A and B are shown apart, each in its own frame.
Chain A
Amino acid sequence: AQKITQTQPGMFVQEKEAVTLDCTYDTSDPSYGLFWYKQPSSGEMIFLIYQGSYDQQNATEGRYSLNFQKARKSANLVISASQLGDSAMYFCAMRGVQTSGSRLTFGEGTQLTVNP
């Protein structure tokens, strides 16, 4: 079975500062993928960034980067230069094909609030 843990129910950050959202995972799959999605108050799920378990480098997408520490089983999302529009719920998710097919397993989410 797979498990995603997001221990921060809520986070606050000042506009223009960086913030790290924590995610730890547990899986017996030798190969897996880690994802972050953003869910604004309107409800849609927006894909942000992906990290493969065998990727040598940490993933980056614009202001988003993934701090992947395989030995610690963590995949933290770093948002640089926070903007007011970054206020949303953020979900970490994983997929491990051998143990759970292609389904995504989600964490509980972190509600990020960016203060002006």
Chain B
Amino acid sequence: EPEVTQTPSHQVTQMGQEVILRCVPISNHLYFYWYRQILGQKVEFLVSFYNNEISEKSEIFDDQFSVERPDGSNFTLKIRSTKLEDSAMYFCASTGGLGETQYFGPGTRLLVL
């Protein structure tokens, strides 16, 4: 069964460093998402991406964040200068259509020291 994959599963970084989180969505899906979950809290939407551009973003997704689909399979989230409060689980999700179910990857647990 097709699934969303994410790498790395865990990442530890120093405050101020750049990190890139990688995702491979399900192959025939067209809509891609990033969500984050701070430890013990609910899942929050960051950004959605369709047709090689951002379709919507939340207030969390400020200038330090960017997304890219560098090739036909990968979808990345870059955090330019990490802060302590960026420590969270980051989930990638994909769906084949706006009215369809979003399937989540296993997440990347980011720890900023």
Contacts and interface: CB of A to CB of B under 8 A. Distances in A.
Interface of A: 33, 35, 37, 42-47, 50, 91, 93, 97, 100-109
Contacts of B35: 104
B45 A45 contact: no
B22 interface: no
A13 to B, nearest CB: 22
3 tightest Cβ-Cβ pairs between the two chains A and B: A45-B104, A103-B45, A106-B43
Contact of B48 (A44, A103, A105): A103
B44 interface: yes
Contacts of A106: 42-44
Contact of A43 (B45, B98, B106): B106
B103 interface: yes
Contacts of A45: 43, 91, 93, 104, 107
Contacts of B95: 102
Given A46-B104, A103-B45, A108-B41, 4 more contacts: A91-B43, A101-B56, A104-B93, A108-B42
B109 A103 contact: no
Interface residues on B, range: 20 to 34
B75 interface: no
B55 A101 contact: yes
B55 A104 contact: no
A109 B31 contact: no
B95 to A, nearest CB: 7
A35 B33 CA distance: 16
Question: Which of B42, B58, B104, B107 has the largest count of A CB atoms less than 10 A from its CB?
Answer: B42
Contacts of A97: 98-99
A43 B104 contact: no
Given A45-B91, A106-B42, A107-B42, A101 B48 contact: yes
A102 B101 contact: no
Given A33-B99, A43-B109, A105 B104 contact: no
